[in-house]
Amino acid sequence: MADRKKTISADSSNPLYTLINLWPYMWPAGRPDLKMRVVWASVYLLISKFVLLLVPYFFKWSIDALNGKIDMAGVLPTFMLGAVALVIAYNVTRLIQLALNQLRDALFASVGQHAVRQLAFRTFVHMHQLSLRFHLERKTGGLSRIIERGTKGIETIVRFTILNTVPTFVEFLLTAVIFWWGYGFSYLTVTALTVWLYIWFTVRASDWRIAIRRNMNDSDTDANTKAIDSLLNFETVKYFGNEEMEARRFDQSMARYEKAATDVWTSLGWLNFGQGVIFGLGTTVMLVLSALAVISGKQSVGDFVFINSVLLQLSVPLNFIGFVYREIRQGLTDIEEMFDLLEVQPEVVDAPDARPLTIHQGAIAFRDVHFAYDAARPILKGISFEVPAGKTVAVVGPSGAGKSTLSRLLYRFYDVQSGAITIDGQDVRSITQKSLRSAIGMVPQDTVLFNDTIAYNVRYGRPGASDAEVLAAADIAQIGGFIRQLPEGFETRVGERGLKLSGGEKQRVAIARTVLKAPPVLILDEATSALDTTTEREIQAALDVVSKNRTTLVIAHRLSTVIGADEIIVLKSGEIAERGTHAGLLAQNGLYASMWNRQREATEAAEHLKQVRESDDLGVIDRLAPAT
């Protein structure tokens, strides 16, 4: 089934093509139980259509019996019994038809929900397969909205196409045969013309409404994106006191949505009115013909009621076929963007002959690496260096030099344009991404935690780890004692993106997570740059323990954290400007020495100010500070 699913296309201009490619979800391979549900649901539906056509016949016979138009041998009790029996049969038939419809829906419920689940799962997996570039350029709020609407659209299409479209046309055909056989060609002509005009108008009007619906979806996505983006940056909004500005931006988006939604409902009103006019005219012509036939004695009153009943029954599938068409078209519009997501090809994929990474020692090598996010702006220009097994190499340099790009390339979030990156001599492009990333541990600068418990976030490094191993990892990261003091301990929830924890606490959780993963290769990407000096020292002590005997690549902003590195690489404008040990680089009195001196002076000034404030018992400094 997976191979067939790959043919799905977002070609909304060709609904039939999309519906054909949705068939694997309606007829799921490997699920004979669901296939049987589809079969029995279809059988019950077709039976219900035949039963439905008996309803007006029983109504006609009841009326004729009550009018004495049915010959009951002139016996009054038998006549009364016959009329009552027909009335009972009329209502029993309606109940049977209703029961068959409900049974059909119950049988098909699991089929529709299974299709939704499979599409949602496939989309979720696909999102994780796409490149980092894709996710950096997309907005999370809009993306979640697209997937939400798309899954609902899939449910609508799967349910309506298999349960309603074909049986509805069967009902049209049976109704046409009944009119032709029982009442003549003129009734058939009026019926066919009414149905054709009704469907033509419905299709044209629904196509017109698609553009209006798409505009409403765009407005809805924009409003949802702004809302989520603002709430995720709650603290930033508060820092700058921009609540009113955020409210105005959201309200502007909602105003566009309000207008678009109003247009949708207005256009729906015109559609329903037009459908009513067309069907009303057809009904009027049919009943006039029947009334004239009753007056002339060619038909009974029961025939007149029968024709009206059949037309009323026909109005239901007619109205429903319009509803089905609108829902399918709108469903296709809703899943159009979701299908576009499924069409996006991952930027980084495993090679056809990719093999798992084999770690011998864990030595890393960058060999003449060139890379650019944008071809017009090169980031790395021929970078070459090695991180020997079990050693620590630090990469420093000014902002924009390309330091963090190295870690992204090593993780293979992107592929190099030229050159190669190897681990134990194996090009990262020739091995599977899963095995590569399982061998590397990362402690990033900005640690984002899942909105779950501390235990869940630590265990994320190795989901199968025991409680004892989680506790040990937390102790190594020097956060175990803090967690045990919390009222709920390791079951404490950390909040959205870990906002209930401080920066240092989040970093320790990240370290514990990496300790639990126990990777042979470690990347520390500016892991302490956002922390205060005291916390930095504590975190650095924990990192020193974690990186011991591991091949470690340190990307640092604060040079004080890399003094003990076996080698320090100094990047400038995407090239290696200097390299050596801390002492050797200071002796060169070059870029590294200049950076070191500036950071040391800034640190000493901050320490001096802190000491002065602590000794200023009279608060002179604070009184001399500018008033606010």
pLDDT, tens digit (0-9, with 9 covering 90-100), for 112-125: 788 788 877 888 88
Each residue's pLDDT tens digit, 34-74: 888 888 887 887 888 788 777 777 777 777 777 766 544 44
User: What pLDDT does residue 172 have?
Assistant: 78
Q: CA 580, CA 570: separation in Å to the nearest integer?
A: 9
- List the CATH number of the domain containing 116: 1.20.1560.10
Is residue 610, in this structure, part of any structural domain at all?
no
This prediction's pTM: 0.64
Q: Are 247 and 389 part of one and the same domain?
A: no
Is residue 208, in this structure, part of any structural domain at all?
yes
Question: Is pLDDT of 19 > 80?
Answer: no
Q: Are 37 and 83 part of one and the same domain?
A: yes
User: What pLDDT does residue 371 have?
Assistant: 93
Question: Is pLDDT of 176 > 70?
Answer: yes
Each residue's pLDDT tens digit, 377-395: 888 999 999 999 989 999 9
Q: How confident is the model at residue 13 (pLDDT cuts 50, 70, 90)?
A: very low
Is residue 256, in this structure, part of any structural domain at all?
yes
Q: Are 373 and 460 part of one and the same domain?
A: yes
For 136, 418, 547, 582, the CA distances from 366, given in Å and listed in that order, are 25, 11, 20, 21
User: What pLDDT does residue 326 have?
Assistant: 67
Q: Are 409 and 266 part of one and the same domain?
A: no
User: What pLDDT does residue 369 have?
Assistant: 94
Q: Are 60 and 31 part of one and the same domain?
A: yes
User: Which H or E run contains 214?
Assistant: helix 185-232
Structural domain containing residue 188:
2-343
- List the CATH number of the domain containing 557: 3.40.50.300
* Range picked from 60-69, 151-160, 401-410, 438-447 for highest mean pLDDT: 401-410
User: What pLDDT does residue 110 have?
Assistant: 80
User: What pLDDT does residue 32 have?
Assistant: 87
Question: Is pLDDT of 368 > 90?
Answer: yes
Sign for the CA dihedral angle at 124, 128, 129, 132 comes to: positive
- How far the first Cα of the chain sits from its last, in Å, is 67
Q: Strand order in 426-427's β-sheet?
A: 380-387, 364-371, 418-423, 426-427
Q: Are 459 and 491 part of one and the same domain?
A: yes
Q: Are 324 and 446 part of one and the same domain?
A: no
Q: Are 337 and 482 part of one and the same domain?
A: no
Helix (H, G, I), strand (E, B) or coil at 360: coil
Question: Is pLDDT of 180 > 90?
Answer: no
- What's the total number of domains in the chain? 2
Choose the weakest-confidence range: 88-102, 360-374, 385-399.
88-102
Each residue's pLDDT tens digit, 254-273: 888 888 888 888 877 887 88
Is residue 615, in this structure, part of any structural domain at all?
no
Question: Mean of the per-residue pLDDT values for the chain?
Answer: 79
Q: Are 131 and 217 part of one and the same domain?
A: yes
Burial of 352 (0-12, 13-18, 19+ CB in 10 A): exposed
Q: How confident is the model at residue 428 (pLDDT cuts 50, 70, 90)?
A: very high
Q: CA 520, CA 516: separation in Å to the nearest integer?
A: 12
Residue type, position 207, single letter: D
Is residue 154, in this structure, part of any structural domain at all?
yes
Each residue's pLDDT tens digit, 275-326: 888 888 888 888 888 888 888 878 778 778 777 777 777 777 777 766 777 6
Question: Is pLDDT of 6 > 50?
Answer: no
DSSP 140-186: HHHHHHHHHHHHHHHHHHHHHIIIIIHHHHHHHHHHHHHHHHHH-HH
Each residue's pLDDT tens digit, 479-520: 888 888 888 888 988 877 677 888 778 888 888 888 888 889
Find the DSSP H helices in 241-299: 243-295
Choose the weakest-confidence range: 71-85, 187-201, 417-431, 554-568.
71-85
Is residue 619, in this structure, part of any structural domain at all?
no
64 contact partners, CB below 8 Å, separation of at least 6: 70, 300, 301, 302
Helix (H, G, I), strand (E, B) or coil at 38: helix
Average pLDDT over residues 81-108: 78
Q: CA 305, CA 64: separation in Å to the nearest integer?
A: 10
Q: Are 294 and 414 part of one and the same domain?
A: no
Q: Are 330 and 374 part of one and the same domain?
A: no
Is residue 351, in this structure, part of any structural domain at all?
no
Q: How confident is the model at residue 410 (pLDDT cuts 50, 70, 90)?
A: very high
Is residue 96, in this structure, part of any structural domain at all?
yes
For 13, phi and psi rounded to 5 degrees?
-75, -10
User: What pLDDT does residue 307 have?
Assistant: 79
Q: CA 48, CA 549: separation in Å to the nearest integer?
A: 74
Q: Are 390 and 339 part of one and the same domain?
A: no
Q: Which residue has the higher pLDDT, 124 or 355?
A: 355
